[in-house]
Amino acid sequence: MSNQHAASLRPAPGASRFGLSEDEVKIAHGISGSDPRLSNETREQIYAANKRKLAQARADGSYRDDQASVRR
**Does 48 score more than 90 pLDDT?**
yes
Stretch 12-33: mean pLDDT, rounded?
84
pLDDT (tens digit, 9 = 90+) per residue, 26-40?
Answer: 999 988 766 778 899
Banded model confidence at residue 23, pLDDT cuts 50, 70, 90: very high
User: With contact defined as beta carbons under 8 Å apart, do 42 and 31 qualify?
Assistant: no
Mean pLDDT taken over the chain? 83
Question: What is the reported pLDDT for 37?
Answer: 86
pTM: 0.68
